[in-house]
Structure 1
Amino acid sequence: MSYDLSLLGWTASRAAELPAGTVPGRVARVDRGAAEVITEDGQHHARHSARVRRASAEDPVALPCVGDWAALRPLPEGRYELEAVLPRTTAFVRGGVSRDSRGGLSGDGQGQVLAANVDVVFVAEPSMHSTDFADLGRIERLVALAWESGGTPVVLVTKADLFEQGLDDLLADVHAAAPGVDVHAVSSLRGEGVELVREYLEGSRTAVVLGPSGAGKSTLVNALAGDVVMETQQVRAADGRGRHTTVHRELIPLPGGGLVIDTPGIRRIGLYEMHEGVDMVFSDIDELSARCRFHDCGHDSEPGCAVLAAVESGDLPERRLQSWRKLQREAVWMAGRTDARIRKEQQNRWKIIHKEMRRSGRARP
């Protein structure tokens, strides 16, 4: 099977970055030490070159991921080696943050790229029934990461057919949690909202679908593809949730144009090198801050704090201020961890250089 790479997002600017003697391919799936890559002449299994292995050992962010454009070096018998990852236009990166035994934050300051060269980030949040509302904090976190990635976030309230009542109120809450972001109710089984989703994928645009297990991500991908391209499982009657099915990220070219990346369910996702993402998802708090008495107001107990006044009046939900504080603390903490890791790597490099210099000096007659 042959592919028109322009329909997969290949452009003249990317072609100018291609090393001599290599051919372009887009990563559809990754395995340990190798990747499934789509080229003009079909899909191939390409092992990582030594150069790629060294780069990813130093920094996991350099590891090839789904959505990447790669430079492939032809080998005998029609095989390819993944020689290099071309510069990314966007990258959805999560941090390695977890909770330690004492309830504090822990991690190594390193990141993991979940999807690259993505134009749209679909944040899928299920709405099963009136006693199980959307996790607004999770939406805020994923939208912040989506803004930071360089892609455009879109929130999809999935399984809307299972929501018994109050869907409009739920959508209003989601809008408030993601200012300036498009929000749509979707029922993939009924086909409701699927065409709205498809409009974001015109031409060669690429989207990634992120959300918890049971959010109906694979069902949505199947609806967009018009065929069963990803396995799904039945929703449990007891709580309306499905079980985790997708175990890998995969790039799916759609028949009508566009591409979508399906992903495994996300339980928790840490921030990574956050610059403007948190500010953008909390733009309402940012606007209120301009009216605080002190320009460096921390919105804690300072007099004349417009944010605290908005919470007291009911104009700003206290939950949202607490979420802002949590993500701000995590972003600052991760920035410190990342800087510390970079300093450590630089120190190690200098130690190696100095050791080699001393060894060379001893070797002289």
Structure 2
Amino acid sequence: MTLETKKSVFVELGKFLKQFSENDTVKESNVLHNDLFFDDFEKLIQLSQSHNGWYTPEQVYFAIKSWADALTEEKLDKWLSNYHTELSQNNENGKNVALILAGNIPLVGFHDFLSVLITGNKALIKTSSNDQHLLPFLAKYLIAVDENLKDKITFVAGKLENFDTVIATGSNNTARYFEYYFKDKPSIIRKNRNSAAVLNGKESKEELEALGEDIFRYFGLGCRNVSKIFVPKGYSFDAFFEAIFKYQDVIHYEKYANNYDYNKAVFLMSNFKLLDNGFLTIKEDSSYASPISSVFYEFYENIEDLQARLKADSEQIQCIVSNDLIQNSIPFGQTQNPQLWDYADNVDTITFLLTTK
């Protein structure tokens, strides 16, 4: 398969995904293989919460839309333009790449899956028990578009064998296991990371509402969700709480509500000082990783010192949002809309796949 062919297959997948929306799903007549896949995919979306209680239709539709927006010819071309020479020369009898995927948010491993296939390699995929249905369905669609992909995609139920390289995502604990188990293989091993926001008190209501999206999307389960907020000395959270009130319905989801009740009780029994609005607690804490339904905050005195602190802690941080207060930060509300070239942990997956022997 040429690079152009591979790109075209994923563009077709993007067109397929673009049909599905929480409020306006429309079956388009010009999308390939709709007769075989459209109705079944819609059913799968509705069933996802029975497979994983966090995968509500709203969250699955959001993930689908994100990938529909990403899988366009223009964005694929922009992403791959930096590697065009290497990709054009790449050997199609490529490496067997073992993918060990997380399942914290829907389709969280799709970028690794895409990267392996677009570089001409073969994907040996071990899905998380929390996300066993969405990616295999999309793989079947891709194979229907181009049957040459059939030999490039294998889902593994048991032990991973006969692989050349590894991309594994998990917790800090599982990462230690991965590092030992795969010590003789070239690998990318991802650990826990969290995202942070930096405020200065001059944010508009709209910006703070967008920060709520960064906090509550996927119930806060993603590494790109904001779990820590840095605020200047003397900061009042009144405007923040007022702005995020629009997300109050999150407490109606049983799994989230259970976490809110449990974590709030633990904090109170430990005599921690909390701010609470009935669906989110915020606690002063130096850690980056807060429990579900809670956000940690920390005061800072000057932005230069904070910038140095964040740089020193970079291996704990996935992304930072601010109103241009921090170098390379992203706008409020955009943490869960990464571009194809926004690599997890800032590790260039394409370069790794192209250069690893």
TM-score by length of 1: 0.26
Greater CA radius of gyration, 1 or 2?
1
Structure that is richer in strand per residue: 1
TM-score if structure 2 supplies the norm length?
0.26
